[in-house]
Structure 1
Amino acid sequence: MTLSLLDWGVLLAYLAVVLLIGFYFARRNTSTEEYFVGGRRFRGWVIGLSLVGTSISSITFLAYPADAFKTGWLRYLPNLALPVALFVAAYVFLPFFRRGNMTSAYEFLEQRFGPSVRVYGALAFIVAQLVRLAMILWLLSLLIQQLVDVTPTTAIIGAGLFVGLYTIIGGIDAVIWTDVLQTVVLMIGGLLCIWVVVEALPGGLGQVFREASAAGKFALAEFDDGTPQPVRWQPSLSEKTVTMMLLIGLTNWLTEYSSNQNTVQRYCASRSMKEARRGLWVYLFTALPVWAFYMLLGTALWVFFQHYPDPTAAAVLTGEARAESIMPWFITEYLPSGIAGLVVAAALAAAMSSLDSSINSVSTVSIVDLYRRHLRTGLSDKHYLTVARTVAALVTVLMILGALWLNGASTHTLQDTSTILVSLFGGGMLGLYLLGFLTRVGDARAAWCGIGMTLLFTGWTVLTNKGLMPAALSAPFDLYYTGLIGNLVMFLVGYGMARLFDRRPVAAA
């Protein structure tokens, strides 16, 4: 697969703009307040679009169209819980983080439960983000290799250094504004793709809806040999049902908007409570349509390849080729010169917008929650700013090394490693925050009892998943629900132990 000179020109122009944004904001970063939260001056629409950029990653650009192309719209279902989660976040979570000029999500944990719980939350976030960074960079390198004839090592190192450079020098200002740009580019790229499809079909967009509907491609269903199999609605812990997938979606979104530093840092960077809430609504009314649009793009590609048969598309439908390869194939083989370059830029934007946010967030948490709070207290702000940049550089190196390791590992190893690490260190975080937000009881002892029990529970499910537990002791539920149950364990054990210790209620922060 090769790109034309015009495509390369468009792509390089986009990358140059991203890099210039980083250098432009570098001159502003004279304090940690600027580097971490941009002086707390961002308007809601900027925060909202940056949240879209942070959350979409490569899943939106590659996995959503791939899933809709091969099956139906079942993957979209958990997203329908987002409005409920954002309403709770705007009126329950957000006020806690807007008090006292917080910078980190884990400052609240210290106010509510003490410094040891704050350290746990910070370390759990850092571990999870390092795993996430390595995975996203590795996935980005796969996309680059499909589009350009380079080695995996070159793709990983080149992409990692580029994202790291503008993030390290530009701080949160560069992260937020490049995320806004990347969100816009992603939307334009998708529109161009579907425009090419619609122009090629005699019946246009109407033909897409007619033929896809007749084949059940819009169904919220599992597919078996190309035939949609309806998913039940009844609550169940032994199978995936509509109700349970909505609950999983609600749990994931509530976790994202209660305890994820990538999100909370946007709350703190907003000009006011009003602007922070406005950012959440901008995110809601942008993200849901964008995700739906990329699902529609996958459905449209299915109709397109019904009329223009292609061996690669057929191999995806039969399972002989990875479903995620359909978008890169369509871009390089069917898009006109110039448009292909912009769409490739959109694909890169989808991954870079997640990488830059995580690098900056890990740097922020490392300094605010660990280094300045416990390791080196009372030093000058200039010192902490220098260390923050150093940490961002170190995170970039670890991200690259992790992606290089994943490139040499099997897919099975990749999935197992990421699932185990993220589950063990991040499990129950929503339950912990809900204990702090919704109750006035409990201290560090109750929180640690909940954390310990959640770690034991998650470890049990990991051993079950790897077949290391006797049948009689294996988890009697679908492991898809581990996170949901883990958060319940965290909240109930923490609350129960708080009552057992019978301490006087403490005021919520």
Structure 2
Amino acid sequence: MNNLPIIDIVIILIYLLAMVLVGVYFSRKNKSADDFTKAAGRIPGWAIGISIYATFLSSNTFLGVPGKAYGGNWNAFVFSLSMPLAAWIATKYFVPFYRSTGEVSAYTNLEKRFGTWARTYAVVCFLLTQLARIGSIFFGISLTLQALTGYNMIAIMLITGVCIVIYTVMGGIEAVIWTEVVQGILKTIGALIIIALLVREVPGGFSHIFQEAAQMDKLSLGTFQFDLVSSSFWVVLLYGFFMNLNNFGMDQNYVQRYHTASSAKEANKSVWLCVWIYVPVSLLFFIIGTCLFVYYQQHPELLQTIKLQAAAERLHLPAQDMQVQQLASQLKPEDYGDKVMPHFMVNMIPTGILGLIISALLSAAMSTISSGMNASATVFTEDIYKRYINKNGGEAKNLKVLYLATVIVGLVGMCCGIAMIGVKSLLDIWWTLSGIFAGGMLGLFLLGLIAKKASNNAAIIAVLMGVTLILWMSLSYLLPENLAYLKYPLHSNLIIVFGTLTICLVGLLVQNRTRK
């Protein structure tokens, strides 16, 4: 890290070492697969709640949300506003259901309900979602560290990835949860420090920032007209509600944590604690984006470097190239929003504090990646290895598979992050990919939960219809212009909404006709 003062480097190294040591400490407790995946149900609810909050508050939030607020407005905050309703449904139906099954995998029950195909389908969807998520987070962290160090993004992903793999493999879910408690606190402190530094740099402080932002419509939650084509209030609300239902109801990252609690009551407490922390803290990151916009409006001369960096990444050419300079002059705020906060960190955050902020950013990435790696390894072991490869493997063998699967998920996730280099918006790419992969999975789960008498055949027909619709909505933009009338006309965030509803409704209709 040749661009950073020694004190900042020391702070970052201490943080990384501490995370690895946590993994070493908890490695002594992993005597079985149950210890590795469920911590034997010995984690208190408040710690689980903070860890779920830390998983939500990834580097996609740390970088993507300020970038969206800088380039647009507070429209994406509506996602957070949808969380309480999804949490209410989760604590009333999902948590009791999973606690009663006792199965560590969220997808084992689908086989009991609909057959082997349902479990396999959900597992594939989950693993694809996790790889997209881990990849986008690796990309986000390398984006910022490249701005701070000048190092190659691929090298940064490899170095940070190795550190994450070490403590995740060694410590299991217990190490993941307790490191996330520390990481959740650290990244919240980091957000508050950034806001304080920004407000200090803007004459007039908060009052001036919000006054100028309001005049330029930067605080808008989106149009309240029922517009399903643009990113309106209702589009984001619907997306957020269904995505959070998927998070709390079908995402192994969260379902697995329900089993680490000592009781269903403690598990419910963890869900609500996550919500009541995440909603206001996510607002802090929108405030950061707004503060950054006002600050750079007052210092437009600083934007040239940011625009050149964004243009160079998009064209894969040096910043001095004439094509890069021409593109940089044409870029709009939404085209380089993800680059603004890293630039501010490099140039305006004092020595010592910068090391703390970078550690907070690293924690934002590490918490979500480690959680995804552990959950994916658990799903692979429970739903693939123990189901199809070795049904009677002993504890030692299962532990080895968990370790190996964790490493493989980390490596493949890094490759996905490398493939995302050059995307326009970090938050947009994650929302689009997650909506595509999660829609069918949530629809199948809800069909099994709502329609108690829905048959296997009804579920198969419903999923085939839903997946066909999801594929059309996701890929029809590739059609040539002479077939433009066949393209999906609505916003891509609604893919999970229509995919989920289609599977539920078709399943119910087919079952009703069968009963007649």
Provide TM-score, normalisation by structure 2: 0.89
Q: Aligned pair count?
A: 491
Q: 1:411 and 2:423 equivalent?
A: yes
Per-residue CA distance 1:15-73 (angstroms, 9 max, x = gap): 11111111111111111111001111211111111111111211211121122223321
**1:248 and 2:239 aligned:** yes
- Which range moved further: 80-89 or 377-386? 377-386
Aligned AA (2:394): S
Deviations along 1:257-309, one digit per CA (max 9) or x if unpaired, are 11111111111211111111110111011100110011111222233334455
Q: Partners of 1:417 and 1:220 in 2: how far apart?
A: 20
Using the alignment, how far apart are the partners of 1:444 and 1:347 within structure 2?
45
Aligned to 1:257: 248
User: Is this contact kept in 2: 1:93–1:437, CA < 8 A?
Assistant: no
Contact 1:160–1:399 under 8 Å retained in 2: no
Counterpart position of 1:56: 57
Q: Compared with structure 1, are the counterparts of its residues 49 and 117 closer, same or farther at alpha carbon in structure 2 (3 Å cutoff)?
A: same
Taking the aligned partners of 2:490 and 2:266, their CA distance within structure 1 comes to 42
> Which residue matches 2:494?
481
Residue 127 of structure 2 aligns with an amino acid whose one-letter code is I
Task: Please state if 1:281 is matched with 2:272.
Answer: yes
The 1:240–1:206 alpha-carbon spacing in structure 2 relative to 1, beyond 3 Å, is: closer
2:253 maps to amino acid: N
Are residues 476 and 341 of structure 1, via their aligned partners in 2, closer, same or farther at CA, if it must alter by over 3 Å?
closer
Contact 1:428 1:488 in 2 (8 A): no
Other-structure match for 1:228: none
Partner of 1:506: none
Query: For the Cα contact (< 8 Å) 1:424–1:455, is it kept in 2?
Result: no
Q: Does 1:497 align with 2:510?
A: yes
Look up the equivalent residue of 1:74 and give its one-letter code: N
Give the match for residue 149 of structure 2: 148
SS at match of 1:322: helix
> Mapping of 1:93-492 within 5 angstroms?
93-221=94-222, 231=223, 233-312=224-303, 318-319=332-333, 322-407=336-421, 411=423, 425-468=437-480, 470-492=483-505
Matched residues in 2 for 1:344 and 1:69: separation?
20
* Counterpart residue type for residue 457 of structure 2: R
Helix, strand or coil: the match of 1:33?
Answer: helix
For the aligned residue pairs, the C-alpha RMSD in angstroms reads 2.6
Contact 1:305 1:313 in 2 (8 A): no
Q: Structure 2 CA distance, aligned partners of 1:343 and 1:97?
A: 37
> 1:430: Cα distance to partner?
1.8
C-alpha distance 474-329 of structure 1, shift in aligned 2 (>3 A): closer
Deviation at 1:202, TM superposition (A): 4.5
Correspondence for 2:32 = 31
Residue 206 of structure 1 aligns to a residue in which SS?
helix
What's the offset of the Cα at 1:255?
1.4
Instruction: Choose 33-42 or 415-424, whichever is displaced more.
Output: 415-424
CA distance in 2, matches of 1:81, 1:457: 25
User: What code does the residue aligned with 2:385 have?
Assistant: Y
Moved more, 58-67 or 308-317: 308-317
* Runs of 5+ unmatched residues, structure 2: 308-330
2:322 aligned residue: none
Identity %: 32
Shift of 1:236: 3.9
| Matches of 2:141 and 2:48, distance apart in 1 | 25
Structure 1 residue 438: Cα displacement? 1.7
Structure 1 residue 241: Cα displacement: 2.9
Shift of 1:137: 1.4
CA distance in 2, matches of 1:203, 1:403: 40
What corresponds to 1:507 in structure 2?
A: none
Letter aligned with residue 35 of structure 1: F
Seen in structure 2, the aligned counterparts of structure 1 residues 251 and 42 have a Cα distance that, compared at 3 Å, is same
Q: What's the CA shift string for 1:296-336, capped at 9, x where partnerless?
A: 11222233334455422796684496111111111110011
1:191-238 Cα distance to aligned partner (Å, 9 max, x none): 1111222333443333333433344332224xxxxxxxxx1x233434
Which residue type is aligned with residue 457 of structure 1? Answer: L
1:439 Cα deviation from its structure 2 partner: 2.1
For the Cα contact (< 8 Å) 1:72–1:218, is it kept in 2?
yes
Contact 1:68 1:217 in 2 (8 A): yes
Distance 2:404 2:279 in 1: 36
Secondary structure, counterpart of 1:103 in structure 2: coil
Distance change (3 Å), C-alpha of 1:463 and 1:13: closer
Conservation of the 8 A alpha-carbon contact between 1:137 and 1:156: yes
CA distance in 2, matches of 1:210, 1:379: 64
SS at match of 2:101: coil
> In 2, Cα distance between the equivalents of 1:150 and 1:478?
36
1:329 is aligned with what amino acid?
H
Q: Which whole-Å CA distance do the structure 2 matches of 1:462 and 1:305 have between them? A: 36
Q: Distance in 1 between matches of 2:305 and 2:70?
A: 11
